[in-house]
Structure formats: C-alpha cells, structure tokens
Structure 1
C-alpha cells in the first residue's frame, strides 16, 4: 500500500511512526536483522524504510531486505534510492527490481553530490539532484505508480552553503515535481525545527512532514552523527550530556527521555508521525514508544525493558578519529548461542544494544553502521583539496604524516582528527608512517583503567577497562612477507595477524572461527563485556571498504593523470595488515616486537 494512503487512513488521535533500517554488511548480520525486524513489527509501525548505499553499493541487500520485510511480515516498505554517481541505467534497474518485489514507496535522495562536470565519472546524466529523480519517477509511465518521498534538512544541508530560504526553494521544487511526503534529517533543536516547520507550511508545502528522530545511543556516536549531518546541538543538551558522557547506560536512558520529550512537543505543534532512525537497534525505540503509551502488548520484551535491566555495553575502536573515540564508541556485545536467549543479559533484544562499527560482532544486525542518506566514505565536505595532489608515494607518506601531526583534519580513511587515544602511541605510529607503512588504525594496550577515564574509559561507572594493543597499516607485498616471517619466528604465540589485498588474497594465523577480543570491561552487576572483536569477517569487510576508498579517491582525477595512476596502483599493489599483541600488561610489547629482536622490521 502507498505510504501516503496509509497516512491518510491512520487514526489521527494516535501518532504514527516508521522504522528505518540499513542492510548489515555480513550474511549473519542480515539474518539476525530480519529476526529483529520480526520482533519490532509487533510495535505496529506504519512502514519500514530501508537505506541505500552510496552509488548503489548495497543494492542487492537493500532490495532483499525490502522484499523480506513485506513478504515475511506484511509491513509496507519505503526503499531509499540515491541517484547521483549511479552508472547509466541503474536507476531504472533499481526501480524495476523494487516494483517486482511489490515495493510501492521510494524515498528519492540525491546521495553523494556529482563531482562537477568530470567526464570520467560514470554517472547517469539524467540525474544531478533529488528533484531529477522525483520528476523522472512521476513522469515515466512504468514508474509513475510509486509513492515518492524526499528529504529535508531543518538544520541546513551539510553539503551546501545555501541559506534556509534557498533550501526551502529546493524542497518546494521537489514537492512541485510530485513528492508525496517529506522525511527530515535528524535534529535535536526542537524549537528550531518547529520554527522551520512553520516556514515550510508558509511556503505552501502541504504534504506530510515526518521528522527523523534518532534516540541518542552513546555520547561518541552522538558526536559522530551530529558532525556528519551538521546537526545543531542545543547548549542545554550538551550541558545535560557532559556529566554522564562516560556512563553509557545513563546516556542511553537520557536519549530515550529526550526523544519522548521531543515527540510530545512536536505533537503539540501539529506533527502526526515520526520516522525513527533505529541504527538497527530495538531497545531504545521500544522504550520510547512504551513511554508514549504506543507499544501495545509486547510479550516479555516490554516487561523486561521497563525494568531497565542493564545490558553489557560494547564499543568499537575506529582508530584515528576523535568523534568515534572521544568517549570510546560502544558496540555490540557477544552474540549468544542459539539456546542462550533465555538469560536476561544475553537475550536477542539487547545483546548488541549499543551501536557497533568496524570491529564489532559481525553477527550483529547493527554491524556496518552507515550514513542515513547514502553518502560514501569520501564526503563532499571532505574534498581532497587539503590532501594535496599526490603523484608519488612520498606525497602520500607526507599526507599521512601531516594528519598525525594535526596539520590536516582528515584523511580518506579518517573523517575526524586524530583521537586522544592514538596520541598515547604517537611516536610508534609516526615511525611506521615515516617508513611508508601508512597507519589507518590502532589502539594502545590498557590494563585495568577506571571506566571513567577521559581517554580510554567507557561503560558505567565503577568499572575497569582493558585493551590489547593493535595497529593497522598499508604496505607492499614484500613487507607483508617479512611481517609474516617475523611472526612465525619471533612471535612466540603472542601475535595474531590478518593481511589482505584488493585481489581477495588473505594471509592469517588466526584459526578458522577464531575471535580476538581486544577490548573488554568489568562492571558491577554485569558479565564481562567484550567490546572490540577482531576476526576474519570483520577484517574482510573493512579490507574491502579500505580498498574501495582508494578507488573512489582515484575517481576524483582524470584518467591517466599522475594522481589517478598513483592511487589506482596503490590500490592494486598494497596490502592492509592488522597486528594484535595479546600481552596487554606490557604497553610496549607490540612495538618491541616490530622494532627490535633478531630481525627488526624498521
């Protein structure tokens, strides 16, 4: 059924809501997400929306998830669809595939902005902006039946310098082209939203406006998402968060209360529906709806959530990024065995209750968190101007060194400045990088530091956290062979490694099914929480992403240019290496192994 028709028929006395999910990167995560959606449909959402990766990178998984949602659970799906940087004909292909699967609703998005008039970028010339996609769908007989939604930005578009009136004009153009409803980017300044909402209506835009709400999960993920989306953060909100930022459960509880308060204010302001960005998690959304009296009769789950039983928090280290590590990004807890779901802590509802990332549990439905609007690793506001125009390997080494020395704020692999945690091992990272072993990830060894520590702390108060040292870098194949040889001869069983390249080759001494927990915490009243996990599936997922970044960066330059030739050569020749040292008691253990011994690597 068309979403606009369902909105028209809903009981105006009750709030309607939709849940947004993204396709996990792994098969196990996908299967577990389908099960999670099966539980969450008991909350009676009006629809479920499924995101679309940049350039169609998640096309198959997005379409499969949309089809399963409708076929298995009978809930109408809104499929996100980006139009820029898509190969010729891919929009038609996606729309036909959606139609074949019974999907009737599309959220038409621009996605990554087109890169000027660079003739070498294989984009579909029909689509430069979101309005082009709306107009095309609505004027093409084969696709005109789709109900089409569009995006809006109450806090301003993160990639454009256009003022608010200009943004409203863009929005009006999309509605005039045939858009049936509007979904907003996330926001937290409710007063500004209500002011903006009034201006939209005064502009003559009458279609339903559905605010995007993302309950705060952790302080670190909140910082990252608000930076990515250029979201306004009220001073009062930061004032509330700062005293509790190191207690992840309190932050989550605050996020639920804030979302409830915002929704109630919006209802008083005339808003009839909400679009929840779930991050593929269920607990916070359930608690919000329960607090609003909308959760209905959810067996077992509701009773347990009302009791506020704490779940084991888990974080991921996304090294070299301040936002992700400012207060230690939390991620998924260990995946329970099939018969382990009877316990309160290990239940399927909250075993991965906190947002996860690169080295979370690959079985988690939330594994591989992505931007909502289909942007890629190279955001338009991170254009490569401050990375220079690399034409030699030394140019790339210089770029990575400038990043380590905080002379540039980002690299293609790190969207925010160097984290305070990385500064703890700065001399070692600098030594590797100067020799052309470009570091893209790391964490220091930590042995029983209080969970409230400003740099490495995470989780509730009264706990202690631990870390094994690891480092990731990009090297030539010859160096990979040297590393493997040294591990075999001098590692003494203390070193695990993964090494992979763009061709799909993989070298490792981790046994099949092996899982290295490199970060864990001990907290009052809880089981030990293993939070950062490095294993084959997560490494391969990150490896593929890392080499795709080289390809995307190369595409900024013309064919046969020195820059493009260099970047593509690096992509084809280099290997991504991950080294973990299991002696977390000795903070120098990994660096001693690398730089000393019978055969120092550097």
Structure 2
C-alpha cells in the first residue's frame, strides 16, 4: 500500500513509527538482519525503509531486503533511490524490480558525492537533483501512478548547502515535482525542528512530514554520525551504557514533543540495524503493539469496578515489565562446557549492543555502519590541503609519519585524529611506519582495565575490559614474506594474521571458520560482551574498502599525474596486513615479535 494511504488509515491509539535499515556488508550480517526484522515486525511499524548505496552499489541487497519485509511480513516498504552514478536504465531497472516485489514507495534522494569527488557530478544530466528523480518517476507511464514518492529534508541544514533559504527552495522544488511525503535527516534539537516545520508549512507545503530520530548507541558513533549529518551534539558522557540510557531518554522526550508540540502523527527511527535502543524507546512511549497488548491485558484482568484512569498510559509498561515480551538471551556453550561464540542464528537483540566501528562483529547487521544515507570523506581541496602532492614512496611514508606525530589531523584511512589509545603505543607504530609498513589501525593489549578508564574503557561502569594487541598496515610483498617466515620460524600459536592484495590474493594462518574476539568486557549481571571481532569476512570487507580508498584518493589528482600514478601503483602492489597477538597479558609481545633482528 502507498505510505500516504497507510497514514490516512492509521487507527492505532498511539502515533505511528517507521524503521530504517541498511543492507549489511557481510552475508551473515544480512541473514542476522532478517532475523532482527522478524523480531521487530511484531512491534507494529507503519513501514520500513531500506537504504540504497550510491550508484546502486547495494542494489541487489537493497531490493532483496525490501522484498523480504514487504512479502514475508506484509510491512509496507520504502526503498531509497539515489541519483549518484545512476543513469536512466539503472533507475528503470530498480523501479521495475521494486514494483515486481510489490513495493509501492520510494524515497528519492540526490545522494552525496562519492568519496574523492570535489563536487557532486551527475552521470546523467537528467538526474542532477533529487527533484529530477521525483519528476522522472512521477511522469513515467509505467511508474508514475504506481509509486508513492518521498523526499528528504534537513532541519539542521544540508552539509553542502550555502544557506537555509536554499534548503527551503530545494524542498519546495521537490514537492512541486510530485513528492507525496517528507522524511527528515536525523536531528536532536527539537526547538530548531519545530521552528523549521513552521517555516515549511508557511511556504504552503502540506504533505506529511516524518521526522528522523536515532537513539544514541555510543558517544563515539553518535559524534561520528552527527559530524556526517551536520546535527548538533549534546555534551559527552564517558560511559557507553549511560550514553545509551541517555539516548533512550532523549529519544523518548523527543518523540513526545514532536507528536504533541509539533502535532506530528509519528516518527522515523534510524536504527543503524540495531534493535535494543528502539525497543526501549517504544516501550517507554507505550507505542508498540506489544505495549498496547500488555495495557489491554492489564485492563481486561482488572476488576470491572476498578478505575485505571489514574495510570498514565506511557507508564503502564516499562522496559522491565515488558521483558517477558523480549526473547531472553541464553549463554551458548560448546561441547566442552566453555562459553562458545555467539551463534550466527542467535535470536536476540543485545549481543551487539556496543558496536565498535569497522572492527565490530561481522555477524552483526550493524557491522561497518557509518552514514546509511551515504556521504563521508574530505573534499578534494581539503584533502590536498592536508595530504599534499605525494609523488614517491618516501612522500607517502612521511605522510603516515606526519599523522602519527600529529602534524596532520587525518589520512585517507584515518578520518579522525590519533586517539589517546593509539598514542600509548606510538613508538611502536612509528617504528613500523619507518620500516615502510604504513599503519592504519591498531590497539594495545589491555588486561582488566576498569570500564570507566578514560582511554580504553567502554560499556557500563563497574566492569572490566580486555584487549588483544593488533596492528594493521600496508606493506610490499617482501614484508608479507618476512611475516610468514617469522611465524613459521617461531612456530607461534599466539600470532594470527591475514594478508591480502587488491587482486584478491589472500594469505593467512587462520582457518576460515575461526572467530577471534580481540576486545571483550565483563560487566555486573551481564554476559561477556565481545564487540570487536577479527575474522576472515570482516577482514575481506575491510580489504575491499581499504583498496577502494587508494583508488578514490588517486582521483584527487589529474589523469597521468605523478600523484595519480603513484597511488594507483601502490594500490596494485601493496598488501593489507592484519596481525594479532593473543597474549593480552604481555603488553610488549606483539611489538617484540614484529621487531627486526
């Protein structure tokens, strides 16, 4: 059904809500997301939206995911569609595939410029703006009457916009082109949104507005998302669990204000493919179908002469009272009785509570999440200002050394300044980089540091965190051969490694099914949490992204230039290597092993 028709028919005693998901990078993550959607579907979302990678990079997975929620669960699905790298035939194919799956809703987006582009450049001159995509779909004889079309809006301003006036003009153009509803980018400043909404309505725009809300998962991920989306950031809290609790409370208060002061019929949850946060928000609001069922059960079981009107609807059900509605986690055990790794098919919503960037669990649906609406990376001018004009291997080596010495704030592989955690092993990283092994990721060994530690701590307070030391770097083939020989000579079962090149060659001493938790935490009253896992699928997913980064960096420079030839040659000739030392009680073990004799 079209989303606008569904909105008109909404008859629940609470505001509606929608969920947004993105196609996971790994096959297991995709399968686990299907299970996650199956658990969230009974909460009663009005619709589900599925993001679309730039240029159709996630085309098949996006369509499969949208078809699953549409067909298997009967939930109306909104498929994101972008202009980036899209030509008419690609757009038609996507729309036709969506139609065949019974999908009647699309969210038409321009899409952000691919990393490595100074400006957004259309592949097809007919698709320059999102309004062009809207107008094309609306006027198409096959699709015009079939699809309900949504567009995006940016209450805090688009990151590329020169002024708020231009933002409003672009929104008006998209609506005039035939848009049926508006979904906003996420925001946290409700007062600013309410002011923005008044201005939109004053322009004569009357179509439904669905505000985007994202429960905060951790301060690091929140700050990264806020930077990408241009949202305003509340003060930091140095406790991941408290950040999540604060995020739930903030989302509840935000939703209440939007639906009361703002008069909006509902909200759109950007889930980042996580489950627990949105569950807690809906339970706190009393909006989910399961919450309503509990309320009805309480009323039905109450004596007929009992007055329940004094019970505030939003307090009838709490997270603890609704706990029986959520499948309780069990601790899987191996045949030897020890705790076994989380099974891929585990039906629970808490095992990836603390996502840890690209080093998260590859089985998690949220693995590798950044900005699901695309974007990220520096512009050409900003990148060249920081990274200069590398024309030789020594130039590149000096660039990585400059980053480690805090002379430049980023590299193409490290979008943020060097962390305090990495600073603790800085001499070792410098030593490797001077060896022409250019480090791009690392962590020190940690043995039972308090979870409140300001440098390595994470998760709720009162716990202890552990880490195995690891390092990832780019080196030439001789470096890979040195590492292989070193492992064989030492016969060290405590060292595991992966090495791969852009062509797809893979070398490793790790079996395909091995899962290596390199970060874990022990917290009061909880199972052991393992937010950081390095194994084959996660390494290969990162390898693809890492070598694509070399190619994207190369296009900063003119064709046939020395800089581009250098970067393309490095991409073709270097290897990405990941090394883990499993003795987390010996802080120097990894670095001693990697030192030259």
CA contact (8 A) 2:106 2:149 kept: yes
CA contact (8 A) 1:336 1:348 kept: no
Structure 1 CA distance, aligned partners of 2:530 and 2:422?
Answer: 21
SS in 2 for 1:66: helix
SS in 1 for 2:126: coil
> In 2 relative to 1, CA 434–88 (structure 1 residues): closer, same or farther, beyond 3 Å?
farther
* 2:529 match: 529
Larger radius of gyration: 2
Matched, 1:259 2:260: no
> Which sections of structure 1, spanning at least 5 residues, go unmatched?
313-332, 342-346
CA contact (8 A) 1:334 1:351 kept: no
> In 2 relative to 1, CA 120–499 (structure 1 residues): closer, same or farther, beyond 3 Å?
same
* 1:335 match: 342
Note the C-alpha offset of 1:50: 0.4
Structure 1 segment 564-579 matched on structure 2, within 5 A:
564-579=564-579
* 2:155 match: 154
* 1:540 match: 540
* 1:327 match: none
Residue of 268, 273, 279 corresponding to 1:280: 273
Deviates more, 1:123-132 or 1:41-50: 123-132
CA contact (8 A) 2:122 2:128 kept: no
Note the C-alpha offset of 1:217: 1.4
* 1:321 match: none
CA contact (8 A) 1:180 1:207 kept: yes
Q: Deviations over 1:39-88 (max 9, x none)?
A: 21111111100011223221111111011111111111111111123467
Structure 1 CA distance, aligned partners of 2:193 and 2:529?
Answer: 38
Deviates more, 1:219-228 or 1:451-460: 219-228
Note the C-alpha offset of 1:376: 5.6
Note the C-alpha offset of 1:30: 0.9
> In 2 relative to 1, CA 143–410 (structure 1 residues): closer, same or farther, beyond 3 Å?
farther
Deviates more, 1:146-155 or 1:88-97: 88-97
> In 2 relative to 1, CA 337–28 (structure 1 residues): closer, same or farther, beyond 3 Å?
closer
Structure 2 CA distance, aligned partners of 1:148 and 1:505?
Answer: 44
Matched, 1:40 2:40: yes
Residue of 287, 290, 300 corresponding to 2:283: 290
SS in 1 for 2:471: strand
Note the C-alpha offset of 1:122: 8.5
CA contact (8 A) 2:115 2:377 kept: no
Q: Deviations over 1:427-471 (max 9, x none)?
A: 211222233211110001112211111000112212221111100
Note the C-alpha offset of 1:260: 0.9
* 1:323 match: none
Matched, 1:270 2:271: no
Structure 1 segment 173-252 matched on structure 2, within 5 A:
173-233=173-233, 237-238=234-235, 241-242=236-237, 245-246=238-239, 248-252=240-244
Structure 2 CA distance, aligned partners of 1:334 and 1:367?
Answer: 17
Note the C-alpha offset of 1:477: 1.4
> In 2 relative to 1, CA 267–337 (structure 1 residues): closer, same or farther, beyond 3 Å?
closer
* 1:319 match: none
* 2:144 match: 144
SS in 2 for 1:89: helix
> In 2 relative to 1, CA 288–575 (structure 1 residues): closer, same or farther, beyond 3 Å?
same
Note the C-alpha offset of 1:363: 1.7
Q: Deviations over 1:476-530 (max 9, x none)?
A: 1121111111111125222110001111111111123112111112222223222
* 2:9 match: 9
* 1:446 match: 446
Q: Deviations over 1:295-333 (max 9, x none)?
A: 123799987674599999xxxxxxxxxxxxxxxxxxxx9
SS in 2 for 1:276: strand
CA contact (8 A) 2:116 2:380 kept: no
CA contact (8 A) 1:280 1:365 kept: yes
SS in 1 for 2:68: helix
| TM superposition score normalised by structure 1 | 0.87
SS in 1 for 2:98: helix
Structure 1 CA distance, aligned partners of 2:187 and 2:591?
Answer: 43
CA contact (8 A) 2:28 2:344 kept: no
Structure 1 segment 41-56 matched on structure 2, within 5 A:
41-56=41-56
Structure 2 CA distance, aligned partners of 1:270 and 1:558?
Answer: 52
Structure 1 CA distance, aligned partners of 2:72 and 2:592?
Answer: 54
> In 2 relative to 1, CA 117–17 (structure 1 residues): closer, same or farther, beyond 3 Å?
closer
> In 2 relative to 1, CA 215–515 (structure 1 residues): closer, same or farther, beyond 3 Å?
same
Note the C-alpha offset of 1:116: 11
Structure 1 segment 122-521 matched on structure 2, within 5 A:
123-145=123-145, 146-160=147-161, 162-233=162-233, 237-238=234-235, 241-242=236-237, 245-246=238-239, 248-268=240-260, 269-297=262-290, 306-307=322-323, 335-336=342-343, 348-375=348-375, 383-490=383-490, 492-521=492-521
* 1:344 match: none
Cα RMSD of the aligned pairs, angstroms, is 2.8
> Which sections of structure 2, spanning at least 5 residues, go unmatched?
295-316, 330-339
Structure 1 CA distance, aligned partners of 2:280 and 2:46?
Answer: 18
CA contact (8 A) 2:116 2:552 kept: no
Note the C-alpha offset of 1:142: 2.8
SS in 1 for 2:72: helix
* 2:59 match: 59
Structure 1 CA distance, aligned partners of 2:547 and 2:514?
Answer: 24
Structure 2 CA distance, aligned partners of 1:451 and 1:544?
Answer: 33
CA contact (8 A) 2:344 2:363 kept: no
SS in 1 for 2:211: strand
